[in-house]
Amino acid sequence: MKKTPLYDLHLALGGKIIDFGGWALPVEYEGIIKEHEAVRSAAGLFDVSHMGEIIVQGPNAQNYLQKMLTNDLSPMQNFQVYYSFLCYPNGGVVDDLIVYRYNPEYYLLVVNASNKDKDYEWLKQHEEGQITITDASEQYAQFAIQGPQAQTILQTLCDTDLNEINFFRFLPELLVAGIPVLISRTGYTGEDGFEIYLDPSKAPALWQVLLEKGKNHGLLPIGLGARDTLRFEAALPLYGHEISADITPYEAGLGFFVKTIKEDFVGKEALINQKEIGVPRKLVAFEMIDRGIPRNGYEVQADGLRIGYVTTGGFAPFLKKNIGLALIESIHAQEEGILEIVVRKKKLKAKIIPKPFYQKRYKRT
């Protein structure tokens, strides 16, 4: 298994290490529920160094990315961050990612660890004009600090006023505890917070000083278990679950990040077509009425017939409810609609509810 620069510190903190797509990472330290609550009420620190980083640079960088990504980069400013999809010609998703624009000739793409090699190959196959595409994943360690106390904690170690970094913006070079880092106001929890990129050799030192400084503010280290429950409660998609090669952004309800008005891009024709004729399946949020926990892959029925499956489900630690996301035939995707979730051969009733389960608390200015 691959190890992040923080592996030894995870062990020292009592992290339960699991194999996460080839990476040795902690699923939890003190417990998923406690960690989840810490992020909602105070702050949490995540090691997300497994994420992939791909740099696209050169005079044709902007044109090229406009062709590859579904979002429209033309209004994007320097030091802004966009969420976007890389799609296949049929509209299925290669990956979801965030794009950091330094300038029109230099972009940093942050991609899912398990898709990184596939993404890099896909981007290289479509290389066009004067650009250089580099897999820079080994050059970056990445942390996320998330929660209502995240800014206060980070600010104690940093002279730059963090209010300068608005939602989905970044600063490419600032010092935190004397260590040069990139910081963006982004995250994957539904809370305000930051993602921090730095030289892997400096990562253990910064991790330790952040935990130390954050202790009095309730900061805890957070494992992958709570990372998943936090993003799920905020109804943020996870590749391989809510989106995949077989699930388009429109089916997942993420059409906002597909701009069909822009000129040609990979997947445009299929996606326009789907937008016009309507999606065959829709992702819905539901809450259990009967007692039971829905899990990924469980069948969803209506009137005894299969209409789809659960993409993510579970007990939501903050809301204290059994909830799920399911991809079902569009005709059944009516709010208040009743679904049957097949849990160990029993059909349990659930009700379709609005997304997200947890109202995001981003700081936008």
Partner 1 sequence: MNIIKDIKYTVSHEWIRIEGNTARIGITDFAQNQMGTLVFVELPEVDDEVGKGSPLAVVESVKAASDVYAPLSGTITEINEALADNPELINEEPYESWLVTLELSNPSEVAELIDSAEYEKLCQQGE
Task: Give contact residues for partner 1 (rule: CB under 8 A).
Answer: 27-28, 31-33, 225, 229, 291-293, 295, 314-315, 317, 322, 344
Residue 144 CB, shortest distance to partner 1, in Å, is: 20
Give the phi and the psi of residue 36 in degrees, each rounded to 5. -60, -45
Helix or strand run (H / E) with residue 210 = helix 203-214
Residue 327 CB, shortest distance to partner 1, in Å, is: 21
With respect to partner 1, which residue has the nearer C-beta, 16 or 217? 16
With respect to partner 1, which residue has the nearer C-beta, 108 or 288? 288
Q: Tell me the C-alpha distance between 114 and 92, whole Å.
A: 17
**Residue 55: both structure tokens together:** 């740099």
Residue 16 CB, shortest distance to partner 1, in Å, is: 9
Q: Are strands 299-302 and 346-353 parallel, antiparallel or unpaired?
A: unpaired
- Contact yes or no for 135/52 (Cβ under 8 A): yes
Residue 171 CB, shortest distance to partner 1, in Å, is: 35
Q: Tell me the C-alpha distance between 131 and 134, whole Å.
A: 10
With respect to partner 1, which residue has the nearer C-beta, 248 or 322? 322
With respect to partner 1, which residue has the nearer C-beta, 72 or 233? 233
Residue 31, helix vs strand vs coil: coil
Contacts of 154 (CB under 8 A, 6+ apart): 145, 162, 176, 183, 194, 210
Q: Tell me the C-alpha distance between 69 and 58, whole Å.
A: 17
Residue 188 CB, shortest distance to partner 1, in Å, is: 17
Q: What share of the chain is helix, strand, coil (3-state, %, to 5)?
A: 25, 40, 35
Residue 315 CB, shortest distance to partner 1, in Å, is: 4
**Residue 257: both structure tokens together:** 């990040």
Residue 49 CB, shortest distance to partner 1, in Å, is: 22
Q: Tell me the C-alpha distance between 232 and 238, whole Å.
A: 8
Sign of torsion, CA 29 240 253 286? negative
Beta bridge partners of 189: none
- Contact yes or no for 250/268 (Cβ under 8 A): no
Q: Tell me the C-alpha distance between 297 and 311, whole Å.
A: 6
Q: Tell me the C-alpha distance between 110 and 93, whole Å.
A: 15
With respect to partner 1, which residue has the nearer C-beta, 18 or 24? 18
With respect to partner 1, which residue has the nearer C-beta, 155 or 296? 296
With respect to partner 1, which residue has the nearer C-beta, 182 or 220? 220
Residue 288 CB, shortest distance to partner 1, in Å, is: 10
With respect to partner 1, which residue has the nearer C-beta, 31 or 58? 31
**Residue 357: both structure tokens together:** 């389960």
With respect to partner 1, which residue has the nearer C-beta, 133 or 288? 288
Residue 293 CB, shortest distance to partner 1, in Å, is: 5
